[in-house]
Amino acid sequence: MSLHLALAAVIESDFSAGLAGAPEQKQDALIVQLRNGVTLHICYAAPDAYSLRWTHDGREAGIDTAPYHPDLATFPNHLHDTNGGAHPDPLTRTDAAPEDNVRVLIRALLDDPTLGAPVAA
């Protein structure tokens, strides 16, 4: 998908100091390793349809636009925390450019891989 290639170029340009290596293109995803131990899986089907999942210290969280959780203020986008809870998405917007959403998320993950959420033992 050419969008993933374009995102890889943006990530390499904007975050070279925070990367553990070059973004890895897969058939339908982009895998990004950050120097702080975060592994980010970026999947864009369309600019307003995405799944951004990451792992850190064996815990997984993510933001996606699956049409679930209509009760959340940011529907359809929402955040899945490491405990499986769904919350309003504090970072991305479905009307934002994919590169802007990815930039915001990577900056946040470089600052705090848990995005401020309590981590269960």
Which residues span the domain enclosing 49? 2-111
In a domain, 29, yes or no: yes
Nearest to 94 by CA among 51, 48, 50: 48
Strand order in the sheet with 78-80: 24-25, 30-33, 39-46, 49-56, 59-64, 78-80, 86-88
Give the end-to-end CA distance of the chain in Å, rounded to a whole number: 38
Q: Does residue 11 lie in a domain region?
A: yes
Q: How many domains does the chain have?
A: 1
61 in Cβ contact with 81 (< 8 Å): yes
pLDDT at residue 1 greater than cutoff 80 = no
Q: Are 38 and 109 in contact (CB under 8 A)?
A: yes
Residue 120 pLDDT more than 60? no
Residue 48 lies in a domain: yes
Q: Cβ–Cβ contacts within 10 Å for residue 25, how many?
A: 14
121 vs 40: which has the higher pLDDT: 40
Contact 63, 75 (CB under 8 A): no
Does residue 121 sit within a domain?
A: no
pLDDT of residue 50: 98
Residue 117 lies in a domain: no
